[in-house]
Amino acid sequence: MPGIEFANLAPNIGAEVRGLDLSRPVAAAEMAALERALADRAVLLIRGQDITPEQHIAFSRQLGPLEDHVLSNFCLPGHKEIFVVSNIIENGKHIGAFGGSKQYHSDLAYLDEPSLGSVFHCLECPEEGGETSFVSMSAAYAALPEERKRWLQDKKAVFDYVWHYERTHRDRPALTDEQKAKVPPIAHPVVRTHPVNGVPSLFLTEIWIRRFEGMDDAESQKIVADLLAFATGPEFIYVHKWSPGDILIWDNRNSMHKACPFDETGTRRRMHRTTVTGTRPYFEAAA
């Protein structure tokens, strides 16, 4: 039996994992238990991990192949797998990406194969603010009326990165044709089956969704807004208050997350993130 224990962090989402030391390879039986717990709880917390970037990468690889981030200027020097998320400025330059999305999303949901999940390591964090808030989209889906679930099961949502960018980032440079070509609109099932435990989840986000396939924008967005208002009810949420040494693993296949604000000019926040490559979302009706 694996020598690790799980304790729930909130009723519907999150578990703390005790008895793991990520400075050493995790045994196959323990990895299987972690992967199952990640599917069931969407967010796993492992406290007190004083690990090197190499150990962070080695553990993340046990979950799957890693992505190299497109913003290579914010990767840890010498470690293209580690994306630095920080508000800190050194020698006049930001050392990492800052101002993470304050709207609920699932990472890279606008791609054909969105990320499986991320492994976040907290190195420095403010005393107040800067939390990360998570929503269980499997618990939210399970709580919907049966009629609503049936209606959603054959729907697809069109994620349109360029459309979203052009209406919200008027202050940023326009996307080039080459950039636009990399992110064409993509339709994903609104109800997504988790490949590990077979549990269905809502697959929606507060950003990027333009419409349901076959419906117009305004009508679709009203329905998406109603569903997200329901999904972000307090019973489906876990808000993580960070401490240095925390490792948080989240699953993009059954949850959304957002960054909470903090004093970005008077405090220091420094995180290392790896991202595990995902596969195309699908829906499989229960037998």
Among residues 30 and 107, whose Cβ is nearest to Fe ion?
107
Q: What is the CA radius of gyration of the chain?
A: 19
Among residues 67 and 107, whose Cβ is nearest to Fe ion?
107
Q: Which residue is nearest to Fe ion (CB)?
A: 107
Among residues 120 and 236, whose Cβ is nearest to Fe ion?
120
176: left (phi over 0), alpha (psi -120 to 50) or beta: beta
Please list every residue from 80 through 119 that binds Fe ion, using CB under 5 A: 107
d(CA 165, CA 249): 28
Among residues 26 and 116, whose Cβ is nearest to Fe ion?
116
Which residue in 17, 39, 43 sits closest to 133, CA to CA? Answer: 43
Question: Following CA atoms 273, 277, 280, 283 in sequence, which dihedral angle do they give, to the nearest 10 degrees?
Answer: -60
For β-strands 89-90 and 247-251, DSSP reports them as unpaired
Among residues 40 and 107, whose Cβ is nearest to Fe ion?
107
Closest approach of Cβ 241 to Fe ion, in Å? 18
- Residue 67 lies near Fe ion (rule: CB under 5 A): no
Among residues 49 and 275, whose Cβ is nearest to Fe ion?
275
Which residue in 233, 10, 258 sits closest to 134, CA to CA? Answer: 258
Q: Contact 15/44 with Cβ under 8 angstroms? A: yes
CB count in 10 Å sphere of residue 50? 12
For residue 175, what is the DSSP state? P
- The angle at the Cα of 69, spanning 66 to 70, to the nearest 5 degrees, equals 140
d(CA 67, CA 80): 9
Closest approach of Cβ 101 to Fe ion, in Å? 6
d(CA 284, CA 145): 19
How many residues of this chain bind Fe ion (CB under 5 A)? 1
Among residues 81 and 107, whose Cβ is nearest to Fe ion?
107
Positions in the binding site for Fe ion (CB under 5 A): 107
